[in-house]
Amino acid sequence: MSEIKKIAVMTGGGDCPGLNAVIRAVTKTATMKYGLEVVGIKHGYRGLYLGGSEFVNLTYDNVKNIISKGGTILFSSNKDNLFDYTYEDENGNICHGDVSDVGIKNLKDNNIDALIVIGGDGTLTSGRDFSRKGVKVIGVPKTIDNDLAATETTFGFDTAVANAVDAIDKLKTTAESHSRIIVVEAMGRYAGFLALAMGIGGAADAILIPEIEYDINKVAECLKNNIKRGKEHAIVVVAEGAKPKGGEIFVSKVVEDSPDPIRLGGIAKVVADQLEKLVGLEARATILGHVQRGGSPTANDRILSTRYGAYAVELLMQGKFGNMVTLDGNSMSYESLENVIGQNKAVDPEGELVKIAEATGVSFGR
């Protein structure tokens, strides 16, 4: 057993259904099974830097009812990298640099022996860097995109798909009423897992994903053939990172002070305008945006999040620092943070789900 008596947990990056379930599992496992003290660090790495009131005690009482709550009770930030941080010094001057030692000092001043970091690639990269500096770190992967290569499934994905399919079901009624094409834009960044799952679950006529460059004329041909069969409306799901053959992804803006500055989005409007001209039906674009990752997590995500959180504590108590919790098949496992940073997975263009979708008439524009 590792000599650990007090641990901290924090969430970084974008919010995700199931974060509170992880926090709950960490707190309950640590306190009830091992008798540890647990501290929650608010606002991610910014809270680690600021210390003081950003460090809050977590107990059975303040986590007992949060498993069904969306978002994160510890709040989050996706702009704060303490190894490259913008801050104000005692003279009011704006400075920029590595302030990670301040975060380490705050951990020591609060007698915290180990840190559980819940986040995506940027958050876990800093977790790895703190591990290199001697902090006892365990990472928990978080993304609705399901694109992390080291783990079978990430929590939040199931909820995001359910939210998106529910939205598509609602959009179908207005599409059918007005004989329209509705183009629904999905999150997912450079991977198409979310768009593919919600497209199949929502019975979309076409699904455009980053892994398959699309020909808009082939998408239009599919929709026109459906019209001949008597279906005078359509649902097209497009991933925010999808791109046409020979074209580029659609960047909506660049956030200079973010560790991940590229923001995708807006391709649905481009696709809708093109299909309206090519098919001859009115087309509308709907960007689901943060609706996908909001609200209460599904039962599956609550269970998966609980497994991730509980196992993170087990790894700490076994002294297996510097690792990230993973799901290997149906078993909990772990992989070194050194090996998982930047290792993303993509949809297989010849995989089972793509082939099944094509067999049922879905166009990928190829």
Judge if 184 and 142 occupy the same domain: no
* pLDDT tens-place string over residues 78-130: 889 999 999 988 899 999 999 999 999 999 999 999 999 999 999 999 999 99
Sign of the Cα pseudo-torsion (338, 342, 347, 351, in order):
negative
- Print the domain residue range for 183: 158-293+348-359
170: which residues sit within 8 A by CB, 6+ positions away? none
Average pLDDT over residues 206-227: 98
* CATH number for the domain that contains residue 82: 3.40.50.450
Q: For 298-320, what is the mean pLDDT?
A: 98
Percent of the chain residues past pLDDT 90, beyond the cut: 90
Mark whether 19 and 65 lie in a shared domain.
Answer: yes
CA dihedral in degrees (39, 44, 48, 49; nearest 10)? -160
**Segment 267-272 mean pLDDT:** 97
126 in Cβ contact with 81 (< 8 Å): yes
Res. 13: pLDDT tops 80: yes
Same domain, 146 and 162: no
Do residues 40 and 67 share a domain?
yes
DSSP run (H or E) holding 1: none
Q: Is residue 195 part of a domain?
A: yes
Instruction: Find the catalytic residue in 15, 113, 145, 205.
Output: 145
Q: Is residue 340 part of a domain?
A: no
Domain-embedded: residue 269? yes
Beta bridge partners of 40: 9, 56
Q: What is the pLDDT of residue 2?
A: 59
Within a domain: 77: yes
Q: Give the residue with greater pLDDT, 252 vs 37.
A: 37
Cα separation, 219 vs 362, in Å, equals 9
Contact between residue 100 and residue 129 where contact means Cβ atoms under 8 Å apart: yes
Task: Identify whether residues 286 and 259 lie together within a single domain.
Answer: yes
Number of structural domains in the chain: 2
Please state the rounded mean pLDDT for residues 128-148.
97
The answer to whether residue 145 is catalytic is: yes
Instruction: Answer yes or no: do 304 and 352 share one domain.
Output: no
What is this structure's pTM? Answer: 0.94
In a domain, 209, yes or no: yes
Position 220 confidence tier, pLDDT thresholds 50, 70, 90 = very high
